[in-house]
Amino acid sequence: MTSHNQQLFEASQRIIPGGVNSPVRAFRSVGGTPLFFQRGQGAYVWDADGKRYTDYVGSWGPMIAGHCHPEVVKAVQNAAAQGLGFGAPTAAELEMAELLCKLLPSLGMVRLVSSGTEATMTAIRLARGFTGRSRIIKFEGCYHGHSDGLLVKAGSGALTFGQPSSSGVPAEIAALTTVLDYNDAAGLERAFNGMGKEIAAVIVEPVAGNMNLVTPKPEFLQALRKLCTQYGAVLILDEVMTGFRVSLQGAQGYYGIKPDLVTLGKVMGGGLPAAAFGGRRDIMQCLAPLGAVYQAGTLSGNPVAVAAGLATLKLVQAKGFYENLSRMTKQLTDGLTASAKKHGVQFCAQSVGGMFGLYFSKAVPASYAEVMSCDKEAFNRFFHAMLDAGVYLAPSAFEAGFVSAAHTEADIVATVAAADKIFSTWK
């Protein structure tokens, strides 16, 4: 009998390109039929066939409080009852802006938008307008949304499909993007020595989460700040994924690095489309209507999305929230690593705050090249075995995973036990 997931996927492919509205959802990297979810509650999601899974994707990060947290749902319902959108200022937008500036000291001013892609796209334009320069630096395997200039050796879905660059990006635009190796401080210094006066901005994921999880070396972060200051370039931290995910002050607080601009999304929307960018006042004041850098959006600061975000950000400020989240996430990665070692499986894992990475390799990777040397087929095999066991991991070897505050110790123990049973059968 054909499953409901299969029926839905077959129908979707007839009218939606690839059957999905975001490429990695298609399961092309891991094979098989993608799951169509009907509902979520806490740490669990249920697919179209009614099967329950322990969810370690969490809508790719936003569900830090778990699915359908009652306070978030109530906030959304209350906001929706007052109006779904106005295309005009609201007091809630101001409340969100003030809260973001309070939680992230690097934000002197902030503007709300609707997606991480919109935030990073505009941050790049703003940096170019502020500096009067055109060149940007990004790092191989880092994904900053799908705007043209950033789809050059990108991570995330582009990496999953083996096409780190995109068709349709004009060569003239791609030529303005210099791609360097993540965690290579010496390479960054050489680039600045050679073209420092051309560089408008350096954009980086402070913890790379779109080529699996790759953490920054201290000397790399120090070089980023030092060189951008020295050459007058704008340092943009893409915290769409790490913002309020690794700590209350994001990766910038976790690692002690002060950016010039920051992009945010995911957690700050609580599961609804909300994002932001902000930073130094002198840079932000270049935005229209104050300055000549144009940006606009009909749905920017949507009241329902802002309500979900405010409710979520209230929850994460609770005492001990991040300590408990980090402990639970580390318990997961430590348990999986110990199980693999016991059964002689080449595997390792690591975590930062509520993010984690799983690697079928001898050592935790520190660069794009090292990520690409991991055993992708072993991951695919593990992914499907865990799916059969009721554990939903990201359907790609090149994506970070996420734990929520709704995951219990029993969930973690059960997940590790499922993996242990799988590893025990591997030869």
Biggest alpha carbon–alpha carbon distance for the chain:
65
Chain-centre distance of CA 159, in angstroms? 14
Q: Which of 47, 55, 184, 238 is catalytic?
A: 238
Q: How far apart, in whole angstroms, are the C-alpha atoms of residue 232 and residue 197?
A: 8
Q: How far apart, in whole angstroms, are the C-alpha atoms of residue 137 and residue 235?
A: 10
The dihedral sign for the CA sequence 242, 245, 246, 249 = positive
Q: Which of 138, 153, 266, 330 is catalytic?
A: 266
Write out the chain in H/E/C secondary structure: CCCHHHHHHHHHHCCCHHHCCCHHHHCCCCCCCCCCEEEEEECEEEECCCCEEEECCHHHCCCCCCECCHHHHHHHHHHHHHCCCCCCCCHHHHHHHHHHHHHCCCCCEEEEECCHHHHHHHHHHHHHHHHCCCEEEEECCCCCCCCHHHCCCCCHHHHHCCCCCCCCCCHHHHCCEEEECCCCHHHHHHHHHHHHHHEEEEEECCCECCCCCECCCHHHHHHHHHHHHHHCCEEEEEECCCECCCECCHHHHHHCCCCCEEEECHHHHCCCCCEEEEECHHHHCCECCCCCECCCCCCCCCHHHHHHHHHHHHHHCCCCHHHHHHHHHHHHHHHHHHHHHHCCCCCEEEEECCEEEEECCCCCCCCHHHHHCCCHHHHHHHHHHHHHCCEECCCCCCCCEECCCCCCHHHHHHHHHHHHHHHCCCC
The arrangement of strands across the sheet holding 391-392 comes to 37-41, 44-47, 52-55, 391-392
Q: Which of 56, 143, 182, 255 is catalytic?
A: 143
Give backbone dihedrals phi and psi of 411, rounded to 5 degrees, phi first.
Answer: -65, -45
266 an active-site residue? yes
Q: Which residues are catalytic?
A: 143, 238, 266
